[in-house]
Amino acid sequence: MEHSPVTTNPLIIMLINMTVVFIVLVALIYLIKLIHFVDPTKEKPKPEVEEEEPLVAVKSAPAVSAPPVVEEGINPEIIAAISAAIAAYGFAGTVKAVHILNHESTPWKASAKFNNLQRK
Amino acid sequence: MEALNAFSVSLQAVWNDSGFSAFTPGNGIMILVGLLLLYMAFVKEFEPLLLGPIAFGCILANFPNTGFFGEEMNVMKAINYGITYEIFPPLIFLGIGAMTDFSPLLARPSTLLLGAAAQIGVFVALGGAMLVGFDVHEAAAIGIIGGADGPTSIYLSTKLAPHLLGAIAVAAYSYMSLVPLIQPPIMKLMTTQKEREIVMKELRPVTKFERVVFPIVSTIFISLLLPPIAALLGCLMLGNLFRESGVTDRLSDTAQNALINIVTIFLGTGTGMTMSAESFLRTDTLLIIALGLVAFMGGTAGGLIFGKIMCKFTGGEINPLIGSAGVSAVPMAARVSQLVGMKSKPGNYLLMHAMGPNVAGVIGTAVAAGTMLAMLK
């Protein structure tokens, strides 16, 4: 049903509308918090560290002498094989930049990084 | 002699039925406007998916004697019904919902305030429009351009000022495509280097329960409070529910691909069809485009100001740059926040944080539209 506007004063319309928008969105904030509060699947906060057992001096056993692991990097043959596979797949562009992507990155971070790479 | 006479009469009839006989200089200007929009869409790539069909619709609308809007039903008239009866904007929202991840908003709900603050532009433009002589309904429809939300702009102007639909849609989509040009200078002007360099904390993980319950609960709450936007909000949240439920992949896929693409073609073409010479070539159009820019800049500034306030109150935990994403051009505005943040401090990834206010802006603009409909219709 159509009716005439309550007011035509721009300032009053602005104030009423902004107030309503803020109230609705603040109410949504509390709704989101409520959903989080009642969420039965959320991870329970881990209990505080339990009382530590008193430290007892233990005679240390002689260390097993494990052979030191030496990081030698990737075998050049593997790099050559991967490069050949990429070339066979049809890649023929020139490399503009090399970026090392962090494997621990979240999907959102990865998306942001990818977005930046696309712009370069 | 008789044959010659018949030939002459036939030629006369063909000429009289042709578009050339009724072609006006206004039609010519509007076809040029359509060509300019086509250039912007396909060469400059300003929102080509929408501006392309709008531009072509504008060209089609300015051919005389086509009978597109006559008594008989035809495809163009059917497309126009989709706009007149507000069918297309909610369907677009269905697709947007299926494409949107609400997790950043759910992880940090306080960013809803940034989405609300960015609506300041809507109301500044509303006041400005009334001051320059538009009536309250027209002013409300013009103001919503500041929300940077095309479907909501079309939805509201169809209800409040259908005669301004073409100008409002073109202004809204043009400014949305110009977000990367309009926002950064305002962002740099209103924030300090130190503020732009703030690195925000990682967001908490959001459970599937939260992601499924939020669209249902928010639809119930907002639709009961503001029934005029139940179709818009309902479709947005239904699309999101398809995405998050995990058991409706086919529906989610259809909503975010085939459906939204089909509806975009119809919405764009139908909107362009409203840009006839007699309805578009008016000084009002220039005013609407100018007011749209004011609205857009006001919205960006509003979000940034509130971002600065939140930065202060949280002891520097919030980077104010995410405030500008409160205008709802998803995900363009969030990308701009990310880009400006990265320029200030390489390695500062704001995208996930800016998506919170960005999707809050979509909800905020819909709520602003609903409030104005409740007050004015």
Using a CB-CB cut-off of 8 Å, the residues of chain B touching A33 are 109
pTM: 0.80
Calculate how close chain A gets to B176, using CA atoms only, in Å. 19
Residue B193 in this model has a pLDDT that exceeds 80: yes
Calculate how close chain B gets to A41, using CA atoms only, in Å. 7
The model's confidence at residue A57, banded by pLDDT at 50, 70 and 90, is low
pLDDT of B377 reads 75
Cα–Cα distance, B103 to B353 (Å, whole number): 10
Q: Do B116 and A25 touch (CB under 8 A)?
A: yes
Q: What percent of chain B has pLDDT over 90?
A: 61
**Residue B20 domain-assigned (yes or no):** no
Q: Is A120 on the interface with B (CB under 8 A)?
A: no
**Residue B211 domain-assigned (yes or no):** yes
Residue A42 in this model has a pLDDT that exceeds 90: no
C-alpha closest to that of B299 among B136, B109, B98, B153:
B153
**Residue B74 domain-assigned (yes or no):** no
Q: Do A119 and B104 touch (CB under 8 A)?
A: no
H or E element: which one contains B371?
helix B351-376
- Mutation site, B340, B343, B352, B359, interface A, largest A CB count within 10 A: B352
**Residue B67 domain-assigned (yes or no):** no
**Residue B235 domain-assigned (yes or no):** yes
Q: How many domains does chain B contain in total?
A: 1
Question: Residue A7 CB: number of other CB atoms within 10 A?
Answer: 13
**Residue B4 domain-assigned (yes or no):** no
Q: What is the greatest pairwise CA distance in chain B?
A: 95
pLDDT of A93 reads 56
**Residue B201 domain-assigned (yes or no):** yes
The model's confidence at residue B244, banded by pLDDT at 50, 70 and 90, is very high
- Say which of B112, B210, B376 has its CB closest to residue A25: B112
Give the domain range for residue B216: 27-61+79-376
Q: Which of A39-43, A116-120, B236-240 has the highest mean pLDDT?
A: B236-240
pLDDT of A119 reads 56
pLDDT of B179 reads 87
Cα–Cα distance, B261 to B267 (Å, whole number): 10
**Residue B93 domain-assigned (yes or no):** yes
**If you measure CA to CA, which chain B residue comes closest to A5?**
B376
- Say which of B106, B363, B371 has its CB closest to residue A20: B371
pLDDT of A2 reads 52
DSSP annotation of B258? I
Q: Is A104 on the interface with B (CB under 8 A)?
A: no
Using a CB-CB cut-off of 8 Å, the residues of chain A touching B339 are 116, 119
Cα–Cα distance, B368 to B372 (Å, whole number): 6
Who has greater pLDDT, B132 or B329? B132
